[in-house]
Amino acid sequence: MKLSIPKIKRNEQLFFLAYIIFMFFSILMLSFYYQYYIGVYKYTVGFCVVLLLIQEIVNKFLSYRAMIGAFILYLAALFLVVQGTGNLQTSFACVFVFAFGARNIDLKKICRISVALTLTLLIFVIMSSLLGIIQNYHLLTSYGRSRYFLGFRYALYAPTFLLNVILLYVYDKQEKCKYVEIALLFGFAYILFRFTNSRLTFGLSIVTLMLAVICKIRKDNFSNARKLVCLLIPSFLLCFAVSIWFAILYSPNIPWMKGLNTFLGNRLKHGQNSFLMYGVSLFGSGNIEWVGAGLDAYGNQSTETYFYVDNLYIQVLQRYGIIFMIIFLTLTTALMIQCYRKNENILVILLAIIAVHGLIDDLIMYLQMNTFWILFGPVIFGYIRLKKAPKDEIHYSKRIKFIRLIS
């Protein structure tokens, strides 16, 4: 699989420097290498934010709309830092800071750098664990599932990083995807599945790779399936509604609900219990104590009873509150609408896959595991918002030719 590094313009250099530093330390933060810099991570993030601010000063261009965007996104980031707990929540806040900094940067450039960096570090951590340089923790669950963490602090981390790579690859290549590369990515995903037993993430990886094959066969950016693509626009809203519906109405006395809960590893039950225990407020709660199966930086597992909400929508709603949830859903839905208007049909489909992923896994809230949050900036305040859809450009070109012929 060929990894190409795009040409970076002079006015983009500080952004990419900050982004590469952030991604490097944020990916390794979820591995056992984190123990070597656990105390300086927040200062590293602060340095990256300073670089992004310097970029804005150096570029000397901030429109009125961009100023509003800066206020909204930086305010959201500040709220997340204050309300969140720990360095992982700080990395979530960086979604909005980097989204604004990337508002005029081609997403495909960010895709290629993200793929190259993530794959390199993913292989590096896995090889380090197999060679015994860092711990390769092995967990045998109560359900009899054998799961290796492969140098990371939880079994889901490696497959989720790879899923992000696959999503980025499909968006970047689209109809230019190569069967050999698709096969290699599938092989890698299968190997990780065999080691980590991460069924749902593996399933979404297969769906995305199938989409890559369809893209290669169709070669039309799904332009003939616009009505079907349009139905995907409210994906984040629907997934949020489904999450709340199950949290309120789940009952183990209903056979199909009980079966679904068992298949999803008690996710429905934990979501409902969290709702009953912590409730929902306007600005969220910083005192929520969810206990996961992940390890700390030194390989220690919590001795408390497991109780964790894997659902992205419930977690964001309870931790950050109703107001932030409304802002988040507004941003994601506006993102879907703009992508559809600009005829970015494949992107709409990929975002719908991410929305579904949020039902079963909260890890996609972090930028290092979901690069597509970067689009909040370009779509709402930047170049994608101003970009003409290909259909409009064709009509415009025809009008110009017609004027030239009659003049």
Residue with tokens 């980590």: 196
Residue with tokens 């064709």: 394
Q: What is the pLDDT of residue 406?
A: 39
Please give the Cα distance from 151 to 297 (Å, whole number): 11
Q: What is the pLDDT of residue 400?
A: 34
Q: Report the number of secondary-structure helices (H) and strands (E) in the chain.
A: 17, 2
Among candidate residues 270, 239, 294, 264, the one with its CA nearest the CA of residue 34: 294
Q: List Cβ neighbours of 402 (8 Å cut-off, separation of 6 or more).
A: none
**Prediction pTM value:** 0.90
Among candidate residues 198, 200, 154, 229, the one with its CA nearest the CA of residue 356: 200
Hey, is 148 helix, strand or coil?
A: strand
Hey, is 332 helix, strand or coil?
A: helix
Please give the Cα distance from 42 to 48 (Å, whole number): 10
Q: What is the pLDDT of residue 301?
A: 84
Q: What is the pLDDT of residue 3?
A: 67
Q: What is the pLDDT of residue 401?
A: 40
- Residue 377 identity (one-letter amino acid): G
Among candidate residues 172, 160, 181, 149, the one with its CA nearest the CA of residue 118: 160
Q: List Cβ neighbours of 307 (8 Å cut-off, separation of 6 or more).
A: 270, 273, 274, 290, 291
Neighbours of 242 (CB within 10 A): 14
Q: What is the pLDDT of residue 382?
A: 67
Q: How many residues does the chain have?
A: 407
Q: What is the pLDDT of residue 312?
A: 94
For residue 10, give the DSSP letter.
G
Residue with tokens 């489904």: 242
Using only C-alpha atoms, what is the Rg of the chain? 22
**What residue ranges of the chain have pLDDT lower than 70?**
1-4, 60-63, 142-143, 382-407
Around 112, how many Cα atoms within 13 Å sit in the side-chain half-sphere? 13
Q: Which helix (H) or strand (E) holds 140?
A: strand 138-140
Q: What is the pLDDT of residue 264?
A: 86
Phi, psi (deg, nearest 5) at residue 222: 60, 30
Phi, psi (deg, nearest 5) at residue 31: -110, 180
Question: Is 268 within 8 Å of 260 (Cβ atoms)?
Answer: yes
CA–CA distances in Å: residue 395 to residues 17, 227, 388: 40, 21, 11
Q: What is the pLDDT of residue 224?
A: 81
Q: What is the pLDDT of residue 398?
A: 43
DSSP string, 25-69: HHHHTTBGGGGGTTTTHHHHHHHHHHHHHHHHHHHT---HHHHHH
Question: In the chain, how long is the greatest CA-to-CA distance?
Answer: 81
